[in-house]
Amino acid sequence: MLKLLFLGDIVGRPGRDIVVDRLPGLRRERAIDFVIANVENAAAGAGITGSIAKSLLESGVDAITLGDHVWDQRGWENEITEIERVCRPANLPKKCPGWDHLVIEARGFRVAVFTVLGRSFMNMKAEDPFAAADRMIEQLRPQADAIIVEIHAEATSEKQALGWYLDGRVTAVLGTHTHVPTADATVLPKGTAFMCDLGMTGPYESVLGRAIEPVVQRFIDGMPRRFDVATEDVRMSAALIEIDAKTARSEKIELVTVRR
Ligand SMILES: [Fe+2]
Ligand SMILES: [Fe+2]
């Protein structure tokens, strides 16, 4: 049995700090073999930088994924290929820099991971995530024992549809982007672990990680404001999956919440 932890969107310094403080202990306590993290909001709430990516990789994250905020930090498009173990969404236009998948290995077992962006209520130029997943799975099958698909999307319907579409073909389909963990962690009938959203790793006394008051006022009057990252009720939110090493099917999935 192999254990894989997938952390939902890391938001700002509070999100980074709890990962650095608590991930090494959690890895040991739960005997976790693989850790993957979405870091699209790690730098001041939007995007990622090279130095932040490196510090997260040094704290026990094995593979880093991104979402629609992938290009928010200036210069990241030049840095992305200089750092190993970072990939950008696989269904972005082909000419975008960065790897479209990663393969990590532990105990002789290889796990491939890639992200697809949804297209419903998402403002990105992205290829059909279903077709992209088909293409990536075909490409990765010979290189990996298990494949983990991250669906970074707004609509729960699009995420559930992709879960059913890939059931039995990959080890897990895990949702990110909405920053709110869902109570639907399940193993689908053909052995694919599924969850609509892993929730964020960041401050929960907030609106999706941002300070509450400016967001409330923006909804009321529509005036632009600075949305600073919030600071309180910081949690790490992740899915922990148990994978059968022989079949690469998921045996179990649970939501793991760690409070500061
Ligand atoms: Fe996010
Ligand atoms: Fe996102």
Cβ < 5 A residues, ion ligand 1:
9, 40-41
Phi, psi (5° rounding) for residue 131? -65, -40
Between CA 96 and CA 238 the distance in angstroms is 28
Distance from residue 80's CA to the centre of ligand 1 (Å)? 18
**Structure confidence by residue, pLDDT tens digits, 150-175:** 999 999 999 999 999 999 999 999 99
Q: Tell me whether residue 69 is one of the annotated catalytic residues.
A: yes
What is the dihedral angle through the alpha carbons of 100, 142, 127, 179, rounded to the nearest 10 degrees?
-60
| Pairing status of strand 34-38 against strand 193-195 | unpaired
Between CA 260 and CA 258 the distance in angstroms is 7
The mean pLDDT of the chain is: 97
- C-alpha to C-alpha distances, 123 to 14, 118, 120, 203, nearest whole angstrom: 27, 9, 9, 25
Q: How many residues does the chain have?
A: 260
**Structure confidence by residue, pLDDT tens digits, 193-242:** 999 999 999 999 999 999 999 999 999 999 999 999 999 999 999 999 99
From the CA of 152, the nearest ligand is 2
**Structure confidence by residue, pLDDT tens digits, 100-143:** 999 999 999 999 999 999 999 998 999 999 999 999 999 999 99
**Structure confidence by residue, pLDDT tens digits, 26-73:** 999 999 999 999 999 999 999 999 999 999 999 999 999 999 999 999
CB–CB of 70/122 below 8 Å? no
From the CA of 39, the nearest ligand is 1
Would you say residue 260 has pLDDT above 90? Answer: no
